Chains A and B, each alone.
Chain A
Amino acid sequence: MGLSNFLDLFQGITTLIASNPAVLAARLGLMLLGMVLVYMGKKGILEPLLMIPMGLGMSAVNAGVLFLDPATAAAVTETVQSGGHPVAGTLFMAPLVQKTDNLMYVLQIDFLQPIYTYMFSNGLIACLVFMGIGVLLDVGFVLARPFLSMFLALCAELGTVATFPIAVAMGLNYGEAASIAMVGGADGPMVLFTSLTLAKELFVPITVVAYLYLGLTYGVYPYLIRFLVPAKLRGLPMPERPALRITSDEKLAFAVVGSTVLCLLFPSAAPLFLSLFVGVAVRESGLKYFVAVIDGPILYGATLFLGLTLGVLCEASTILNPKVLVLLLLGIIALLLSGIGGIIGGFLAYYFSGRKINPVVGIAGVSCVPSTAKVAQKEVSNVNPEALILPEALGASISGVITSAILTGIYVTLIPLMK
């Protein structure tokens, strides 16, 4: 048996050797990155629910490259394979297949293709995650102080809006610019939905950048708070207010009317609004069996397959796109600007309230429920253990989900009109 026959037995290695240096380096780098993501997820540095399946998927898809027979290669790549030579590919999924006949063929070959085609490419998975988030949200915190919560959340969308012209200046088209700008909203499902709608060719790197950077809210925002807010103000206790009891009826009424009004305003993002408010309505209606289904199998099932599918989509060819570096930079800019915007909002609230509201509460407007609210409370507690800002911070954080959904609605509605 010759060396070439022996290597044919281990096609992952053969395809690695046969690939050009850039692809070889990218494949090895992504295999390693996948392992690092699993490690960071396990250590709690990054979100383990997403990073463990995503890291594993990323390593597997870059390792498991084999030679496809010409018929399969033609279906997967949708190009005519001249000469009948085998082409390198995987048995995971083919994200860019458009023709129905090819899709039917690939659905029977690639094991994750059914998940991708029926749940991912149409945005369903983002809606399912959003439904789960809805069940976890207690909108009572928003209803207790609606204007303050919505104002802070809106200030904390600075990155979502300001990154858009920066991205355009850096050469992205409007759809791509809007999609990467949505990273400033710190809501993964929203970034996925926007990029699937407006920038299908770049939705993989944009969504991966978004989910990787969400860890920044834990790691970098505490330093941002300490840098921008003096210790004296960080320890400011919030004014005591009589406890306002928000009933389930009031929360349900908000969910029903909020959903209807937002769907009326932005039909393009109606699936997202409905999903979020269905979660809220189910929770507030006391439908405990539905809560158990959405909170458990739907949310965790969707998160598992979201992470796994995103990881598998990270093939070497994805990161070799020169736009990925620009996206990495813009993602950081978006999240930092949103954090700064949130703190500016906090300072505005501080001055307009007669120096009573703790300005740190503003950063919680960067939604990422409940991470940013927890970060804000922790930073305040470090200076003054008696000061409690968590209720207002959660109100701002939950409002952040709503304002991010509103901006998604505006982007997916306006951008196609701008083209």
Chain B
Amino acid sequence: MKIAVLQAFVIYGIAFVISMLIALLITGLFRLVRRISGSS
């Protein structure tokens, strides 16, 4: 049980990092595409 709780924390941690990475990626992409297309 204790191991499973620890594993759940690790899984949530990984999911958090990946999700924030995706959000960061979206923001970066957004700027890149706007810069390439020349719009503000």
Flag A249-279 by CB within 8 Å of B: 1 or 0 each: 1100110011001100100000000000000
Q: Which of A87-95, A366-374, A400-408 contacts B (4 or more CB under 8 A)?
A: A400-408
Do B33 and A250 touch across chains, with their CB atoms under 8 A apart? yes
A258 to B26, CA, bound (A): 8
Q: Is the CB of A177 closer than 8 A to any CB of chain B?
A: yes
6 CB < 8 A contacts A-B: A143-B30, A146-B26, A147-B27, A151-B23, A153-B19, A261-B21
- B binding-site residues for A, Cβ under 8 Å: 1, 4-5, 7-8, 11-12, 14-16, 18-27, 29-30, 32-34, 37
Do B19 and A403 touch across chains, with their CB atoms under 8 A apart? yes
Do A257 and B18 touch across chains, with their CB atoms under 8 A apart? no
* Contact A169-B25, Cβ < 8 Å, known A153-B19, A250-B33: no
Q: Which of B12, B16, B29 has a CB less than 8 Å from the CB of A250?
A: B29
Q: Which of B7, B15, B24 has a CB less than 8 Å from the CB of A407?
A: B15
Residues of A within 8 A of B24 (CB): 146
Residues of A within 8 A of B18 (CB): 265, 406, 410
- Tell me the residues in window 393-419 of chain A with beta carbons closer than 8 Å to chain B beta carbons: 399, 402-403, 406-407, 410-411, 414, 418
Q: Which of A146, A169, A261 has a CB less than 8 Å from the CB of B1?
A: A169
Do B5 and A410 touch across chains, with their CB atoms under 8 A apart? no
Query: What is the minimal beta-carbon distance from B6 to any residue of chain A, in angstroms?
Result: 9
Do A150 and B1 touch across chains, with their CB atoms under 8 A apart? no
- Tell me the residues in window 166-181 of chain A with beta carbons closer than 8 Å to chain B beta carbons: 168-169, 174, 177
Q: Which of A161, A257, A411 has a CB less than 8 Å from the CB of B25?
A: A257
Query: What is the minimal beta-carbon distance from A246 to any residue of chain B, in angstroms?
Result: 8
Q: Is the CB of A142 closer than 8 A to any CB of chain B?
A: yes
- The secondary-structure label for the interface of chain A is helix
- The secondary-structure label for the interface of chain B is helix
Q: Which of A143, A164, A265 has a CB less than 8 Å from the CB of B11?
A: A164
A165 to B10, CA, bound (A): 12
- A binding-site residues for B, Cβ under 8 Å: 142-143, 146-147, 149-151, 153-154, 157, 161-162, 164-165, 168-169, 174, 177, 247, 249-250, 253-254, 257-258, 261-262, 265, 399, 402-403, 406-407, 410-411, 414, 418
Residues of A within 8 A of B23 (CB): 146-147, 149-151
Taking A146-B22, A157-B15 as given, write out 15 further A-B residue pairs in contact, using a Cβ cutoff of 8 Å, ordered by the A residue number.
Answer: A146-B26, A147-B20, A147-B23, A150-B20, A150-B23, A151-B19, A164-B7, A168-B4, A250-B30, A254-B26, A399-B19, A402-B19, A402-B22, A410-B11, A410-B14
**Identity of the chain A residue whose Cβ is nearest the Cβ of B10 in the assembled complex:** A414
Do A249 and B7 touch across chains, with their CB atoms under 8 A apart? no
Query: What is the minimal beta-carbon distance from B18 to any residue of chain A, in angstroms?
Result: 5
- 3 A-B pairs closest in CB distance: A165-B4, A168-B4, A146-B26
Which of B19, B27, B30 has the largest count of A CB atoms less than 10 A from its CB? B19
Q: Which of A154, A249, A410 has a CB less than 8 Å from the CB of B37?
A: A249
Residues of A within 8 A of B4 (CB): 164-165, 168-169, 174, 177
Q: Which of B12, B22, B27 has a CB less than 8 Å from the CB of A161?
A: B12
